[in-house]
Structure 1
C-alpha cells in the first residue's frame, strides 16, 4: 500500500537516496513493459481469452500493472513532498485497497481452476467456461472490495467534512484516525489471507493425492498442476508478508531513522515489486502454449512452432 511506498524520511536529503528512486523507476518500467507484452500476447490468440486459466492470468497482469503504476506515482509524490487534496487521495486509496486483494484472490481462483481440472476433469468444461470466468471475475472484485468498504465506512463515520478539502502527502496513514482502525484493517487482511492459504493448502493436498495415484500423461499433468499451486502459494506468501511490513517498519522507526528508510526500501522491492511481477512472468513462461505464443510475437513471426489462431 501507499504506506510502504515512501522512501523518503525526515531530515534525509534527496541526493543521498536518489539512486534508489532511479532503481525503482527502472524496475517498475521494466516490469510494466513485460506485463504489457504478456497482456498483448493474451489478446492476440482466441484460445487465450476463451479459456478460464488464461483469463484469470490476464486479470493478475492487469491488476499488477495498475497497482504498480499507482504505487509508483504515490512514491514519487511522497519523495518530492507533493501534496494533493484528501478527496483525490481517497480515490487513489480505494483503487489501491481493492487491487491489493485482487491479485491474491485471483491466484487462489487459479488454484481452484487447477484443482477442478485435475481432480474433477469431467466437470471442468462446465465449471470453467468463459461465462463462468466472467462471473468469477465479478466475485473476485466483490470480495476484494469488502475490506476497503469496511475500513472506509469507519473513516467516513469518524472524519470531519473539512478534512476532505485539506492538502496532504498521500498515504494510507491519513485514513487511520484512531489506532483501533489500523488494528481492524490488519485483522481483516490477515483473515482474508488465512482463508486463501487454507484454500491453497486444500487444493495442494487433493492434487497431490491425484498425482500419486495417476499414471502416464495424467500423472505428468497432475504434477505440473501441483507445481503451479506451489508457485501460487509462494506468491501469496510474499503478499501476506507485505501486510506485516507496517508493523516491522513502525518498530524499526523507534530504533533508527536511517534503518527505517533502508527497511522500507527493502520491503517495497521484495514484497511489492517481486510478487506482483516475477510470479506472473514465471507462470506465463511455464505454460507451453503461452510461451510459444510469446516467442512467436517476440520474434515477429519467425518462430513457427506455434502459429497463433
Structure 2
C-alpha cells in the first residue's frame, strides 16, 4: 500500500528531488538491513542460539522482517522512479511481501506463548517448548500464510488477463493494483482484521496470564517481570505492524490539508516509521536486552574490532558455547 499514494506524489518531481527522496529512505533501510543481517548471523554463530527455542523463533521473526523490509524498499524505489513492471513480476513481489508481512505477527504470537509457558509452567517448559515443537510451530505459521497467498492467487484467476493486449502494467506496482475485483478487496480486509485481532488477543492474554502468575509466591519475580516487559514490547511491535495497514488512508487524509512539499516530507517520514523502523525493532529489542546476545552482536557490529576499552569482550564471547 505504500506505493499507491506515492504515485501521485512523484508526478512532477525533478531528478534531484527524486534522488533526495530515495536517499532519505534508502539510507536508514540499509542501516537497518545491516543490523538485521548482523543479528541473523549472530544467531547462527553459536550453538546455544541454534538449540534454544526462543532464539530460533527470533531468527524466524528477523528473517521475515528483513525480507519484508527489502521488498518494501524495492517497491518504494520502483514507485518513486515510476518504473512499471509486468503483471507476473509485480504479482510475485507483492505476494512475497504479503507473505513475510503476515509471518511476523504470527511469529510474535508464538513467541508470546513461549514466554507465557516459561513463566506460568516453568517445570513443564522444557517438555512443551522443544526444538521439534518449535520447528512445527514455524512450519505451521509459514503454511498458514502461504495458504492465504494461494487464496489471493485463486481470486486473481477471475480477472480476464487474456483480454489485455500486453502483460505490461499501466500503473505502478503495488498491492492495491493486484487486488483486482471486489471479492479480493473484501477478502483482504477480512483476513487482515482476523489476523491482527487474533494476534492481539493472544498477546494480551499471555500478558494477563504472566501478570497473574507474577503474584504467586512460587513464581520467579525477576523472570516474570522480564517476561511481562517482553510481552509489552511484542504488543508494541504488533501495533506498529498493524499501523502499516492504515498508511495509505493517513496519507490521503494529509494530502487534503497540506501542500505538496509538506506532504512529500511527511510521507517519507511516515514510511520510515511505519514500514522500516518496525522491521528493525526486534533486533534492537533483543540485541540490547538479551545478555547472551548483546556482547556477540556488538562484537560483530563493530566488524570484529576489539578496542582497548573492550579488551574483555573477546574472552566473554569465546566463553559462549
What residue in structure 1 maps to residue 142 of structure 2?
141
Q: TM-score, normalised by structure 1?
A: 0.90
Instruction: Tell me by how many angstroms 1:176 deviates.
Output: 2.6
Secondary structure, aligned partner of 2:83: coil
Which runs of no fewer than 5 residues in structure 2 stay unpaired? none
1:37 and 2:38 aligned: yes
Q: Which of 299, 305, 309 does residue 316 from structure 2 map onto?
A: 305
Instruction: Name the CA distance, whole Å, in 2 between partners of 1:38 and 1:45.
Output: 12
Instruction: Name the CA distance, whole Å, in 2 between partners of 1:183 and 1:10.
Output: 30
Instruction: Name the CA distance, whole Å, in 2 between partners of 1:257 and 1:150.
Output: 40
Secondary structure, aligned partner of 2:316: coil
- 1:101-116 equivalences under 5 Å are 101-116=102-117
Instruction: Tell me by how many angstroms 1:254 deviates.
Output: 5.3
Instruction: Name the CA distance, whole Å, in 2 between partners of 1:139 and 1:49.
Output: 19
Instruction: Name the CA distance, whole Å, in 2 between partners of 1:288 and 1:260.
Output: 42
Please give the per-residue CA displacement for 1:265-305, whole angstroms capped at 9, x wherever unaligned: 23311111111112332222211111133245445575123
| Alignment length (residue pairs) | 308
Change (3 A) 1:147 1:249: farther
Secondary structure, aligned partner of 2:13: coil
1:287 and 2:290 aligned: yes
Q: What root-mean-square deviation, in Å, do the aligned CA atoms of Structure 1 and Structure 2 show? A: 2.4
Residues 118-127 or 199-208, more deviating: 118-127
Q: Which of 234, 237, 251 does residue 235 from structure 1 map onto?
A: 237
What residue in structure 2 maps to residue 16 of structure 1?
17
Higher RCO (CA 8 Å, separation ≥ 6 residues): 2
Residues 274-283 or 158-167, more deviating: 158-167
Instruction: Name the CA distance, whole Å, in 1 between partners of 2:267 and 2:145.
Output: 25
What residue in structure 1 maps to residue 246 of structure 2?
244
Which runs of no fewer than 5 residues in structure 1 stay unpaired? none
Secondary structure, aligned partner of 1:24: helix
Q: TM-score, normalised by structure 2?
A: 0.87
Instruction: Name the CA distance, whole Å, in 1 between partners of 2:259 and 2:286.
Output: 38
Q: Which of 173, 178, 181 does residue 175 from structure 1 map onto?
A: 178
